[in-house]
Amino acid sequence: MKLDELRKEIDAIDDQLAQLLVKRLRIAQKIALVKKEILFIQACDSEREAIVRERISQNTDDPEIKNHLLKIYEEIMNESKAVQNKIIKNKNF
């Protein structure tokens, strides 16, 4: 395979990832509204995060890829928490 072809594959995957991440963040906003209704003070749920990490780590047997995948998911979860905290702390939302 040529470099251009591989980059086109990466571009297509990036587009799919971006669409899925937008969908994930929109759901995170909805979760924040539910948490706000039941008086959660913060978005962090360590137990849920551990479950997500465990589930995600099962997607590969390659230890190096698993490590990178978990780092990526750490950032995804951090951004989801940031979105949720913004809503939870905003009294006008």
pTM as predicted: 0.86
Complete DSSP assignment for the chain: --HHHHHHHHHHHHHHHHHHHHHHHHHHHHHHHHHHHTT-S-S--HHHHHHHHHHHHTT-S-HHHHHHHHHHHHHHHHHHHHHHHHHHH-TT-
Q: Which of 20-24, 36-40, 53-57 has the lowest mean pLDDT?
A: 36-40
Give the model confidence (pLDDT) of 39-87 as tens digits: 877 788 899 999 999 999 999 999 999 999 999 999 999 999 999 999 9
Where do the domains of the chain lie, and which CATH numbers do they carry?
3-89 (1.20.59.10)
Tell whether the model's pLDDT for residue 93 goes beyond 70: no
In whole angstroms, what is the distance from residue 18 CA to residue 6 CA? Answer: 18
In whole angstroms, what is the distance from residue 35 CA to residue 84 CA? Answer: 9
